[in-house]
Structure 1
Amino acid sequence: MSGVLGGHVLSRAELVDEAVSWPVTAEHVLGAGSFTALLRDSVTAPDGETLHREYLRHPGAVGIIALDAEGRVALIRQYRHAVRHRLIEPPAGLLDVDGERYVVAAQRELAEEAGLAGDTWQVLVDLFTTPGIVAESLRIYLARDLRPVEAPDGFVKTGEEAEMELSWASLTDLVDAVLAGDLHNPTMVSGVLAAWAAYLKGDDFASLRPADAPWPARTALRQT
């Protein structure tokens, strides 16, 4: 069936991103950092054309929308040198511990950055943050039933993290700030809007996926 403006109208069953890998005939490492690498691949398109694509290999990350009983979200401010801004963000961190479960990584980051633990965890949204240039997969969790905890043993804030400060804002104010263009962190924007959409369902977030839900897009990405 076609829409009035042309093109196929997708059913809900068809709304699934497809894992596809075009053949790579050459891969060049242009530079490597502590946890990322800049690559330049020669890729063969379906019509036979050779394309050259540069992208950043990335270990992936998790983020947390920590929502308290009053509808407020835990926030931190962090300097991001690449964009020369001190951004308001939710707690988040890299998936850089081999074998660590995604939700365990999120729980660790919440304790380290915000001094909080949550007794109820669900998946809000999965995304590729910048798929045209960065191979970063991101899972954002909703954490509720919050309580204060000590930072994990041996954890010391350094660098930009040493300047972090915990604050709170209502979910509704955050939605307004995102739509006004005042907040720019992708974990913040995606997480806040996903949490708001889930809240509007009126089912106390029952429609969200469990914390240990499969993450097939990330699995496919890591196999390429």
Structure 2
Amino acid sequence: MRIQDTPEEWPVTATATPFTGNKTSVRTDEVEMPDGSRAKRDYQVHPGSVAVLALDRDDHVLVLRQYRHPVRQRLWEIPAGLLDIPGENPLHAAQRELYEEAHVKAEDWRVLIDLYTSPGGCDEAVRIFLAREISVAEGERFEVSEEEADMELARVSLEELVRGALAGELHNNCLATGALALRAALSGDGVDALRPADASWPARPFDA
């Protein structure tokens, strides 16, 4: 039997939005269960995100350190950002984030892995790209603000990121998932077997 997620939608008999924020909101759905009963489910409505694991010629990953207020920590992360425009091509969004956060461009792009960050309480879908053949981008650096103004940049070996994630020292989900996925790809069929950068994404359909 092939283990594969499948689309399914239980009937929603009522819905409300008790909170609307700048980028996300909270929704309460009354859902009809298979036995006919009804239950309320609260969850965050999220536009979706992209992240980039950028790998240089020395097999080092570009990472950044940023303060994250909800968890009261400075986390090492990979470049990432929201899908701000409905229907936006996720590759274009990933290229923008890599430029804005690291002033870097890449020649080779692949889909590394797709995931839901917390499907029990949020509908956020994330696509993590692998970017290779990276170099400094042309033009002036993008002007950052707020938490991003205090970011640190570094290049760290893939093995160090895998070790740190497994040791409980690195906690960002995109960094940990991306590093472990790349290690699995390298140990398996190789990165050339990864999906192309324009692979379909049912969780967040996009324009070509």
TM over 0.5: yes
CA 1:98 to 1:202, structure 2 compared with 1: closer, same or farther past 3 Å? closer
Matched, 1:137 2:132: no
CA 1:146 to 1:69, structure 2 compared with 1: closer, same or farther past 3 Å? same
Match for residue 31 of structure 2? 43
Match for residue 78 of structure 1? 66
Number of equivalences: 205
Matched, 1:161 2:132: no
Question: Post-superposition shift, 1:19?
Answer: 1.0
Question: Post-superposition shift, 1:201?
Answer: 2.1
Per-residue CA deviations over 1:154-185 (Å, capped at 9, x if unaligned) read: x4211111111211100011100010011111
CA distance, structure 1, for counterparts of residue 98 and residue 75 of structure 2: 17
* Runs of at least 4 residues off by over 3 Å: 150-153
Matched, 1:217 2:197: no
The code of the aligned residue for 1:61 comes to: S
Structure 2 spans left out of the alignment, 5+ residues: none
Matched, 1:61 2:49: yes
Q: Percent identity among equivalent residues?
A: 47
Structure 1 spans left out of the alignment, 5+ residues: 1-10, 220-224
CA RMSD of aligned residues (A): 1.4
Per-residue CA deviations over 1:88-139 (Å, capped at 9, x if unaligned) read: 0000000002342110100000000011111000000000000000110000
TM-score under structure 2 length normalisation:
0.94
CA distance, structure 2, for counterparts of residue 64 and residue 110 of structure 1: 7
Match for residue 178 of structure 1? 165
TM-score under structure 1 length normalisation:
0.88
Question: Post-superposition shift, 1:202?
Answer: 5.7
The code of the aligned residue for 2:4 comes to: V
Matched, 1:207 2:183: no
Question: Post-superposition shift, 1:218?
Answer: 3.2
Per-residue CA deviations over 1:50-72 (Å, capped at 9, x if unaligned) read: 01110000000000000001010
